[in-house]
């Protein structure tokens, strides 16, 4: 495995993914009943932005640091600002929370968190982050394969995040296969799928695969591009497909994109888009 998220923690793609994730969780939390959060590629849970990997890449300077400076008064970013501040009580931006920690920190005492991480060292770090949190179970195993055993959880309301490294040329095919099987097991959950944007043709192919899936409450894809989507040599943007989105998600995701893309743009071609892949019945 060559992908090391420590180099990319807090970059523009992390910001977009995490703001969307927190918005989805906030919508689901409007109901008082317990929920279960599941993540297939959980990572280490938190990242040192002062460490050599993050300093070397400098990606957080054009991500979380920009947003916290320029978006200080934006209500739609309030949960995100709070999540970062909770890990940095001195007011700086030294540590960055991964999606498992962001989710766990906003969930309640009766909610449950199931996390999968295949790499042993990373899984051990993740277990250390949640060593005292009885709501959280960390599985060191392949997240795709784990869906067979973990779903559906005893708590039948919840959210699944699939955020693979996308290094495998066959990742989209593999993701769609396991996503279809997961939906068959837990079709009432909200599913969030993160994907990179390099070439638009690749994104269109993924969208076609997603549209072929059976969902109960529609399907959206929120995208943020900071460069034109015409180069396979760099990350030009990112998207989050949301299957079975909570009510009001379309409006919220559109607002997130409109606020983030001018803040994070690195080209005059930067943009945000919201695709309705399947309308809500």
Tell me the CB-side half-sphere exposure of residue 202, using CA atoms within 13 A: 20
Residues 6+ apart with CB under 8 A from 150: 38, 114, 116, 139
DSSP single-letter state for residue 199: B
Residue 113 CA to residue 39 CA, distance in Å, equals 8
Q: 48 or 5: whose pLDDT is higher? A: 48
Query: How does residue 263 score in pLDDT terms, banded at 50, 70 and 90?
Result: very high
pLDDT at 3: 47
Instruction: Please give the backbone phi and psi of residue 178, each rounded to the nearest 5 degrees, phi first.
Output: -75, -30
pLDDT at 232: 87
Query: How does residue 233 score in pLDDT terms, banded at 50, 70 and 90?
Result: confident
For the whole model, what pTM was predicted?
A: 0.96
Tokens matching residue 239: 């998207």
Could you report the per-residue pLDDT of 14-39, keeping only the tens digit for each? 999 999 999 999 999 999 999 999 99
Tokens matching residue 115: 């996390």
Residue 158 pLDDT more than 50?
Answer: yes
Segments forming the whole domain that contains residue 243: 5-278
Residue 271 CA to residue 108 CA, distance in Å, equals 35
pLDDT at 2: 36
142 part of the active site: no
Q: Which residues pair with 221 in a beta bridge?
A: 241, 275
Residue with tokens 């943007």: 237
Give the torsion sign (CA, 133, 194, 92, 29).
negative
Report how many domains make up the chain.
1
Residues 6+ apart with CB under 8 A from 149: none
16: CATH = 3.40.50.150
Q: Of residues 111, 133, 163, 187, which has the active-site annotation? A: 163
């Amino acid at each position: 495995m060559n992908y090391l998220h420590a180099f990319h923690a807090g970059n523009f793609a992390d910001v977009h993914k995490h703001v969307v994730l927190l918005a989805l969780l906030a919508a689901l939390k409007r109901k008082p009943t317990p929920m279960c959060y599941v993540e297939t590629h959980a990572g280490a849970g938190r990242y040192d932005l002062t460490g050599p990997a993050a300093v070397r890449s400098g990606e957080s300077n054009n991500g979380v640091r920009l947003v916290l400076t320029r978006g200080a008064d934006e209500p739609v970013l309030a949960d995100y600002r709070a999540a970062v501040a909770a890990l940095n009580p001195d007011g700086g931006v030294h540590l960055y929370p991964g999606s498992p920690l962001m989710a766990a920190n906003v969930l309640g005492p009766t909610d449950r968190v199931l996390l999968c991480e295949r790499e042993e060292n990373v899984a051990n770090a993740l277990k250390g982050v949640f060593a005292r949190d009885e709501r959280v179970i960390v599985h060191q195993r392949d997240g795709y394969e784990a869906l067979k055993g973990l779903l559906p959880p005893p708590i039948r309301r919840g959210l699944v995040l699939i955020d693979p490294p996308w290094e495998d040329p066959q990742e989209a095919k593999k993701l769609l296969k396991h996503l279809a099987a997961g939906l068959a097991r837990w079709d009432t959950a909200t599913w969030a799928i993160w994907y990179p944007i390099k070439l638009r043709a690749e994104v269109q192919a993924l969208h076609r695969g997603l549209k072929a899936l059976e969902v109960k409450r529609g399907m959206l894809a929120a995208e943020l591009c900071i460069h034109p989507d015409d180069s396979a040599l760099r990350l030009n943007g990112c998207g989050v497909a949301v299957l079975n989105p909570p009510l009001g998600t379309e409006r919220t995701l559109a607002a997130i994109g409109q606020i983030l893309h001018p803040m994070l743009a690195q080209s005059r071609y930067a943009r945000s888009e919201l695709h309705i892949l399947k309308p809500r019945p």
